[in-house]
A and B are shown apart, each in its own frame.
Chain A
């Protein structure tokens, strides 16, 4: 597609439930990132995928968080046993590749509310 697409745009879930957030990057983009932004806070790096390489999971806050990227395209971020502190906007970004001439395109985000 023309841009990075994220779904759902909003998700309200009960504490303890599992949620899946989807990111559809720009076609052909090899790099994909997940960030989250808590209310009034800056962007927090979660995970990075580059091509077929093993993902960099160093930003995942706990083992309740996991992500996969199938076929080098669509990515799913899964949060198990959600907690109220997981409430945030989850943003996905993609880039054609890493390098000085390549910028990042962000999706509109998924606003997750855990009640």
Chain B
């Protein structure tokens, strides 16, 4: 069974700092990995999607990497801002025949002004 773990569970950083969020998964047979952010009481907003054949994806200040063989992904946030404060979730999809996303438990990020 696929298990997805995110470390740390919570992180506080001062504004302007660069930071890395970690995601690990136990089964490397995945279609893709997606990073989401969730604001309190809200739904999920997709940030980046990395296909299993890719190594990284970038969007603005965000960079996500994927090492499928070791079952790891990182989300790098450059020059953090208070507006980045949210819970960040990673999720993997399995290979054909699967029908759901496997979510990590999330990292709650607080960026202190």
Contact = CB atoms under 8 A, between A and B. Distances in A.
A interacts with B:
yes
Interface residues of A, number: 25
A108 B42 contact: yes
28 contacts: A6-B43, A33-B100, A33-B101, A42-B103, A42-B104, A42-B105, A43-B103, A89-B41, A91-B43, A93-B101, A98-B93, A98-B96, A98-B98, A98-B99, A100-B31, A100-B53, A101-B49, A101-B51, A102-B32, A103-B34, A103-B49, A104-B34, A104-B91, A104-B101, A106-B43, A107-B43, A109-B43, A111-B41
A40 B80 CA distance: 24
In the complex, which range does the number of interface residues on chain B fall in?
Answer: 20 to 34
Contacts of B32: 100-103
A99 B34 contact: no
A45 B100 contact: yes
Interface of A: 6, 33, 42-43, 45, 48, 50, 56, 59, 89, 91, 93, 98-109, 111
Contacts of A111: 41
A101 B57 CA distance: 13
A109 B46 contact: no
